[in-house]
Amino acid sequence: MITHLVPVVFSISEVFDIERITENPDISFSFEAQPQKKEPLHLYDTFDWRAWNKNTAIILSRNQLNLIAIDNGKKVSSVGFRRTPQSFFPEEIPDDKTRSSLQAFSKPRAFLRYGTVSTLSQSMRVLDRNMKTVATIEIRSILPSSAQEQEQKRFITLTPVRGFHKEFGKLTRHILTKPSYAETTTYRNFFLALLDAVSCQPGINASKTPVKLHPDNTIVDSARELLLSTLAVIHANETWIPKNIDTEFLHDYRVAIRRTRSILARLQGILPPEELLTYKQSFRELGRRTNDLRDQDVYLLEADRFRELLPPAMRNSLNLFFTDLRNRHKKELRSFSRHIASEKHKRFLQEWESFLRSDPQSDPDRTPEARRITSDVAVASIRKAWKKVLRHGRTTSPEATDTELHALRLDCKKLRYLLEFYSSLFPRKTLRQVVRQLKNLQDNLGLFVDLSVQQDYLTTYLSSLECDEEVIPLAASIGGLVTALHHKREAVRKEFHHRFEKFDRTETETMFNELFKPYRQP
C-alpha cells in the first residue's frame, strides 16, 4: 500500500548538510544537486483571503503560478505566468483547470500580491543504485527581510515520485533519525513562515469578522463596539478604492456605511441626540457620494448579460454605451478619491472614532435607554422589525406596486442587519435557518429593485442622447434593453407573493420564537 503520496516537510537547522543523509550504509542514495540560487516567492490571495479559507496557497515562482493544498503541500495545479502583477483576475489565466479553481474561490474579486519573500533555493534529485529518480528535494531558506533580523528560517521538502513510495518512505524515516538538524513540520507551517516574512496574518478581514457581543452589556457599549467594527471596514476598504482593482472594495465600503446608518437609526435615547443627528446626516451624505460609482460598476460587470438580452444584430451598438460608462466611471472615481483623501473627510472619521471611543457619563435625560442590557434590546428590535415585514407584506396589494416592493425591501434589509449585528447572541443553527428564510424573500425584492434602478438609469440615458444619426443604432439598442429589463422585472414582481407566502408561515414563526427562547422571561 502506498504510504506517501504527498510531500514531507522538515524544518532544518543552519548546520544541516544533505550529504550527512548518506552516512548510514543502509541508505544507498546519491544526490544530483542544482546550484543554489536566489528565488523570490510572490504570495497572492484575495483581499478577504478566499483561497486561504479554501485551504489553498497561491505562489508565483519561476514564472509558474502554483496552487498548493495548504494541509499537505500537494500541488493542485500550475500554469505558466511570466508576469508579477500587483493584482490579476482569474479570467487572465489561460489554463482551464487553474482558471476554474481560481474562479471557484472568487469570481468578482481580484487576487492581490500580498508580498514577495526573498529565499535561497537549492533543488536536487535523489537517485537509487540504478540512477533512477526516487524523490526530489528542495532546500529553501527564507532570507531576513531587514538588517535587524539575523535568523534564517530553513525548510526541506521531500516530494515523492510515483512508483517509488518504498524508497521515499525509507528516505523520510532516515531523515527523522537525525533530530540534531531536522524535525518534521507541515507545509502549513512553511507557508505561515512565508506570510510572516511579509507581515501578513491570513484570514484577517474586517469586512467578515463578526463582533462578539455580551448579552448582559449595556446597549450603549454594544452599539459602540458594532460601530467601531463598521468603521474598521470603512478604513480597510477606503485605501483600495482609488486603485480601482476590483468592485468589491466599494461594495463592502457601501455595506459598512449602510450598516452604520442602520445602527444609528436604532439609537434614539441611547446616544446623545445632537451627535446622533449629525452623524446620521454625515453618513447619509457619504453613502450618497458612492451611488453613481456603484451603479456604473454594476452596469460594467453586467455588460455581457445586457448584451445577451438583445438580438445579436443589436449587441455591438452597446459598445458606445459601455465606453461612455467607463469614461464616466473614471471621472466619478477621481472625484470620490479626492473626497476620501481630503482633510475634511479624514477629520470626520477621526472625530467619529474619538466619539465612539470616549466614555462619557450617561445623562438619563438625554440618553434614557443607554443602560438597557443588550439582549433585551436585541430581542425587542428584531421582533419589531420582523413584525413590520409581516405587516407590510400582508398589506401589499395584489399588483405589488413599485412603492410597496421598494419599501418592503428596506424593511427586510433592516431586519437582516439586526440579525447580523446581534448574531453572536443567538443559537447559530437557528439563526442560519431564519436568515435562509429571509434571504429567499430578499433575493426577490433585491432583484426587483436592481432591475428598476437599471431600467430608470437607461431610460434617463436614452433621453440624454442627442438626435444624431450616428446614435440611432445605440438608441435602438438601449430601448430594446429597457424593454427586456421591463419584462424581467414584471416576472420578478409576479413571483413576489409566492416568495412572501413561504416566509409568512408557521415554520418561520417557530424559528423566530426559537431564536428568542434563551432570553424569554420565566
Rounded average pLDDT over 463-477? 87
**3-state DSSP of 86-153:** CEECHHHCCCHHHHHHHHHHCCCCCEEEEEEEEEEEEEEEEECCCCCEEEEEEEEEECCCCCCCCCCE
Q: What is the pLDDT of residue 150?
A: 61
**Sheet strands (E) in 402-502:** none
With bands split at pLDDT 50, 70 and 90, how would you rate the model's confidence at 246?
very high
Q: What is the pLDDT of residue 4?
A: 46
Rounded average pLDDT over 102-129? 90
Instruction: Please give the residue that has the higher pLDDT: either 249 or 32.
Output: 249
Is pLDDT at 25 greater than 60 in this prediction? no
Task: State the amino acid at position 462 in one-letter form.
Answer: L
Is pLDDT at 1 greater than 50 in this prediction? no
Q: What is the pLDDT of residue 362?
A: 65
With bands split at pLDDT 50, 70 and 90, how would you rate the model's confidence at 33?
confident
Which of 11-25, 151-165, 181-195, 244-258 has the lowest average pLDDT?
11-25
Instruction: Please give the residue that has the higher pLDDT: either 82 or 144.
Output: 82
Q: What is the pLDDT of residue 168?
A: 84
Residue 509's CB: how many other CB atoms inside 10 A?
Answer: 12
pLDDT tens track for 407-446: 999 999 999 999 999 999 999 999 999 999 999 999 999 9
Q: Which of 299, 307, 306, 304 is nearest to 324 (CA)?
A: 299
Task: State the amino acid at position 374 in one-letter form.
Answer: T
Rounded average pLDDT over 127-151? 81
Instruction: Please give the residue that has the higher pLDDT: either 44 or 94.
Output: 44
Strand partners, 124: 33, 137
With contact defined as beta carbons under 8 Å apart, do 396 and 404 qualify? Answer: yes
Q: Please state, for a pLDDT cut of 70, what percent of the chain lies above it.
A: 92
Q: What is the pLDDT of residue 2?
A: 42
Residue 90's CB: how many other CB atoms inside 10 A?
Answer: 18
Rounded average pLDDT over 128-143? 88
Instruction: Please give the residue that has the higher pLDDT: either 364 or 40.
Output: 40
With contact defined as beta carbons under 8 Å apart, do 408 and 389 qualify? Answer: yes
With bands split at pLDDT 50, 70 and 90, how would you rate the model's confidence at 375?
very high
Residue 286 corresponds to which cell in the numbers above?
Answer: 457619504
Averaged pLDDT score across all residues of the chain: 90
Residue 341 corresponds to which cell in the numbers above?
Answer: 483623501
Cα gap 332→450, rounded to integer Å = 21
With bands split at pLDDT 50, 70 and 90, how would you rate the model's confidence at 30?
confident
pLDDT tens track for 296-340: 999 999 999 999 999 999 999 999 999 999 999 999 999 999 999
Q: What is the pLDDT of residue 338?
A: 98
Q: Please state, for a pLDDT cut of 90, what percent of the chain lies above it.
A: 73
pLDDT tens track for 55-103: 999 999 999 999 999 999 999 999 999 999 999 999 999 899 999 999 9
Secondary structure element (H or E) that encloses residue 80, with its range: strand 75-80
Cα–Cα distances in Å, from 213 out to 226, 233, 380, 414?
A: 9, 18, 16, 19
Residue 455, phi then psi, degrees to nearest 5: -65, -45
Cα–Cα distances in Å, from 204 out to 45, 210, 236, 365?
A: 12, 11, 11, 41
Instruction: Please give the residue that has the higher pLDDT: either 158 or 178.
Output: 158
**3-class SS of residue 11:** strand
Instruction: Please give the residue that has the higher pLDDT: either 126 or 501.
Output: 501
Q: Which of 364, 459, 424, 429 is nearest to 225 (CA)?
A: 424
Rounded average pLDDT over 248-259? 95
The beta-carbon contacts of 264-267 under 8 Å, at least 24 apart in sequence, are: 264/227, 265/414, 266/381, 266/418, 267/223
Cα gap 116→113, rounded to integer Å = 8
Q: What is the pLDDT of residue 21?
A: 61
Tell me whether residue 425 is exposed, middle or buried, using C-beta atoms within 10 angstroms of its C-beta: 0 to 12, 13 to 18, 19 or more.
Answer: buried
Give all domains of the chain, ordered by start, each with its CATH number.
Answer: 8-197 (2.40.320.10), 206-368 (1.40.20.10), 373-522 (1.40.20.10)
With contact defined as beta carbons under 8 Å apart, do 82 and 98 qualify? Answer: no
List Cβ neighbours of 393 (8 Å cut-off, separation of 6 or more).
408, 441, 500, 503, 504
With contact defined as beta carbons under 8 Å apart, do 407 and 498 qualify? Answer: no
